[in-house]
Amino acid sequence: MAVFTLNAQLPQDPFSSGQPGKRRRAGPQQPKKSAPAKPEKKNNSGDAAVYEVPSRLRQPGAARYDPAEDYVKFVGLEDLFPGTGLADLFNTNADFRKGLRAAMRDDLFVSNERFSDEVNAKLKDMGSSLMVSWASVADADSCPNTSQVLDAHDIQMEGETFMQTISQLCHSGTVTTESLIDIVTIGRSVAHSWHQDSGLDQVTVMFGFPTVDDYCGPGVFSHCVKLSHALVQPGHKGEVIEWERYQPYPGDFPEENIIRPIYSKGREIMVYNDAAHLHSAPDSIHRESVWRFM
């Protein structure tokens, strides 16, 4: 057994000045300061335990979600477009990723006649988030700029096929809005703000655009919590459900329930049912943008 020796002097008598013949009065006792609480270690495993929804917050008659069927899944570009070389190109070429984002805006953005050309240009600018509709991507020649970007990088595929294949993943739910948002977020750290977009059986598809080539890690996709049961809707059907609005407040989620999804080659797309999860922007962001199809 190892023996450790402390090389220190014994403490003096608390009433002694340390000098013969002199005494001093003890000063007032100072309360001991407790050590600051250590921050809870982040769960970066890419998965998490299911959160047991309190009975009072469960939708009446809601059945428990099936872990094998109802929770977040990941899809690779190679799964959707096998043998095209798209997955390799996307993960190793920042110019290609930027070109796809710009082409989508050129193809699907519709100018608002009520706004000036200057305002419409700002709305379409790559530095701002943009919402468009993907309803037209099944139409012939609806995505010529996307087709051009793919062809310039020797990907033998029409832009319409590319956009339609990804957007069709939304149809595994019973509700779609046919909306697509290119969400642009400057890299920063933020507090989680947990919510559902509708609380309906609506599938959300996220296509991530990382900041660097060959990226593998969190911060691209939204973070999420898997729920045991559907939540009761505190407002009107289909409205946004905000966790913080429930009264009394149910409390913050422990790290063991928070999924910080891992982006990597083979996991470029995240698919989840809105009603079975709460989600939030990442607390630490590592992406150029993310496309959110609903």
**Rounded CA gap, 173 and 163, in Å?**
18
Banded pLDDT at 12 (limits 50, 70, 90)? very low
Quick one: pLDDT at residue 42? Answer: 67
Q: Is residue 291 within 8 Å of 180, Cβ to Cβ?
A: yes
Two structure tokens written together for 11:
């403490």
User: What angle is formed at CA 106 by the lines to CA 103 and CA 108, rounded to 5 degrees?
Assistant: 105
- Predicted TM-score (pTM) of the model is 0.82
3-class SS of residue 274: helix
Q: Where exactly are the structural domains of the chain? A: 55-293
Q: Which of 202, 177, 222, 171 is nearest to 273 (CA)?
A: 202
**Rounded CA gap, 113 and 72, in Å?**
39
Backbone angles phi, psi at 178, to 5 degrees: 55, 35
Two structure tokens written together for 241:
């459900």
Quick one: pLDDT at residue 188? Answer: 67
Tally of helices (H runs) and strands (E runs) in the chain: 6, 10
Two structure tokens written together for 103:
């082409």
**Rounded CA gap, 197 and 239, in Å?**
7
User: What angle is formed at CA 273 by the lines to CA 267 and CA 277, rounded to 5 degrees?
Assistant: 95
Residue 82, preceding bond cis, omega within 30 degrees? no
What is the separation of C-alpha 239 from the centre of its chain, rounded to a whole number of angstroms?
Answer: 20
- Which fold is adopted by the domain 55-293? Jelly Rolls (2.60.120)
Neighbour order of strands in the sheet with 223-226: 223-226, 277-280, 195-196, 241-242
Point out the least confidently predicted range of 16-20, 151-155, 246-250.
Answer: 16-20
Encode pLDDT of 126-162 as tens digits. 999 999 999 989 888 999 999 999 999 999 999 999 9
Quick one: pLDDT at residue 43? Answer: 64
For a pLDDT cut of 70, what percent of the chain falls above it? 83
Strand-pairing partners, residue 183, are: 290
Point out the least confidently predicted range of 8-22, 115-129, 246-260.
Answer: 8-22
Sign of the alpha-carbon dihedral angle for 224, 229, 235, 236: positive
